[in-house]
Structure 1
Amino acid sequence: MKTTNNTIFISGGSAGIGLAIAKKLNALGNKIIINGRNKERLENALLELDDAIAMQGDLALEEDRIRIANELKNNHPDVNIIINNAGAAFSYLLNETTNAHEKAIIEMNTNYFAIIHFTELLLPHLIQKKEAAIINISSIAVYGSHKLVPTYGASKAALHSYTTALRQTYENQKNIQVYEVYPPLVNTDFSAEIGGAQGIPASEVADELVIGLENNLFDIPVGQTKIYAKAIGEAISKLTQN
């Protein structure tokens, strides 16, 4: 996948991993369109990017997904890469709450259902491009849950399952590629309440994404996640040899 001269939409692009990816791809000569819910954060993010565009909205809401998808298709028809990065996570203990189901609904909607719908809205546009990509920002949580984020991992595991099926669906259509990025704990405001200060810098995720794109590595583990990916890869290799 080429990493220059693309028009790239990044949800959750006003801070954290999304902004780090925006800055990295912007520096490589791509047109960047960032999305976020907070107008002030979007405006501040634009100050760190060259000739970027901001689209305010909450992709967890159906009406915003439809509006933003239409705006992209009508006003920015060159968009050929979407990065589904916006996410939701709650840190709590199951024995200290009575509304885990409510938190899980929000996480599942933002991290899974919303991404399916937004991707569905843009797929007819993307498959017309000479070269296009869908990039889903997943998580090390795909490999297992943790008591501090008890329902978040399930939403990312669901996203992983969908991403794999989407890639398989379009594997013979060479003009569209489907990537999944698996960050571990990252030092962002998003992860602050679960010890994010001990995590890797968001720039490392952006660097690994670019390496993955350049080499057509559709599964892109980052940092500690590489340990899990390697172990699973070795286990699958042994099974196929038997």
Structure 2
Amino acid sequence: MNITGHTIFIPGATSGIGLALALALHHEGNRIIVGGRRTELLERVAAEHPGIATVRLDTADPDSIDTASRIVLAEHPDLDVLITMAGIMRAEDWTDPAGFLSTAETTVTTNLLGPIRLIAAFVEHMLAQESATIMTVSSGLAFVPLRATPTYNATKAAIHLLSESLRLQLAGTGVEVLELVPPAVRTDLMPGQATSAAAMPLAEFVDEVMEILENRPEAAEIQVQQVGFLRHAEARGDYPQVVAALNGSDLPSL
């Protein structure tokens, strides 16, 4: 993916990784449209970063996705990059039958059905472009589970295989499929994560992602060095040790 000259829609980019990546891509000369649920955050992004467009979008609501996609395509017919950033991460206790199901269902709706519906809303348009990019966002926890977040882990594993499968189906078209695989990053995704010494500083993460995008155009998975501990555990043959190390830590890992 060339890192400049695109029109890019990033749902879920009013904070955290999404906003930081949106700003980095905007700095490189791309036209950015940020999507999010909270109007006050969208207004703040627009006020603080002139030139970035916004649209209200709730990725857990299919009607909202349909409305937002129509607005984005009507106002930005040259759209050629979709980054499905929106997601949630919540702890669950499956030993308490009354305590986990609603959280699990909400996580699936947001983290899995949300990206599926977003891609469905834009794929016809993307296929009509000379070249386009769909970037999904999985996690190091797609490959090694964190005990506290079973459904989050499962949704990110599903996003990984969805990305792999779409790449196969869209081969031969003008649409490339990239998968961003973050490690734990200092954001507010989970309580305590923004100040965790074990999490990667947000600016360092985004800088490394931009370097990969610019200098490794062949990369289908965008993996910063820090996520390799999780991503390649099975291939290295130390998967049980990595599971034990991850779950023996107090880190609310992404």
Does the CA contact (< 8 Å) of 2:55 and 2:72 recur in 1?
A: no
- The separation in 2 between residues aligned to 1:7 and 1:68, in whole angstroms, is 16
Matched with 2:27 is 27
Does the CA contact (< 8 Å) of 2:137 and 2:159 recur in 1?
A: no
| TM-score of the pair, normalised by structure 1 | 0.89
| TM-score of the pair, normalised by structure 2 | 0.85
Q: Tell me by how many angstroms 1:67 deviates.
A: 0.5
- The separation in 1 between residues aligned to 2:7 and 2:168, in whole angstroms, is 24
**How many positions carry a matched residue from both structures?**
233
Q: Tell me by how many angstroms 1:101 deviates.
A: 1.8
- 188, 193, 196: which is aligned to 1:195? 193
Does the CA contact (< 8 Å) of 2:32 and 2:52 recur in 1?
A: yes
Does the CA contact (< 8 Å) of 2:35 and 2:56 recur in 1?
A: yes
Residues 43-99 of structure 1 show CA distances to partners (whole Å, capped at 9, x for unaligned) of 222234230111012011010010111112222111110110000121243335623
Cα distance change on mapping 1:41 and 1:51 into 2, 3 Å: same
Matched with 2:204 is 204
Cα distance change on mapping 1:159 and 1:194 into 2, 3 Å: farther
Cα distance change on mapping 1:188 and 1:21 into 2, 3 Å: same
- The separation in 2 between residues aligned to 1:50 and 1:205, in whole angstroms, is 24
Runs of 4+ in 1 over 4 A off after TM superposition: 230-235
Matched with 1:156 is 156
Tell me the SS of whatever aligns to 1:151. helix
Does the CA contact (< 8 Å) of 1:200 and 1:223 recur in 2?
A: no
Where in structure 2 are there 5+ consecutive unaligned residues? 238-254
Cα distance change on mapping 1:205 and 1:46 into 2, 3 Å: farther
Instruction: Determine whether 1:224 maps to 2:226.
Output: yes
Residues 133-169 of structure 1 show CA distances to partners (whole Å, capped at 9, x for unaligned) of 0011111110122222222101111111111100111
Matched with 1:109 is 109
Does the CA contact (< 8 Å) of 1:81 and 1:133 recur in 2?
A: yes
- The separation in 1 between residues aligned to 2:234 and 2:28, in whole angstroms, is 33
- The separation in 1 between residues aligned to 2:105 and 2:8, in whole angstroms, is 29
Matched with 1:238 is none
Instruction: Determine whether 1:141 maps to 2:141.
Output: yes
Matched with 2:131 is 131
Cα distance change on mapping 1:220 and 1:94 into 2, 3 Å: same
Matched with 1:185 is 184
Does the CA contact (< 8 Å) of 1:141 and 1:157 recur in 2?
A: yes
Matched with 1:61 is 61
Taking only the aligned residue pairs, the percentage that are identical comes to 29
Residues 84-139 of structure 1 show CA distances to partners (whole Å, capped at 9, x for unaligned) of 00001212433356231211111111111121111011111011112210011111
Moved more, 81-90 or 223-232: 223-232
Matched with 2:98 is 98
C-alpha RMSD over aligned residues:
1.8
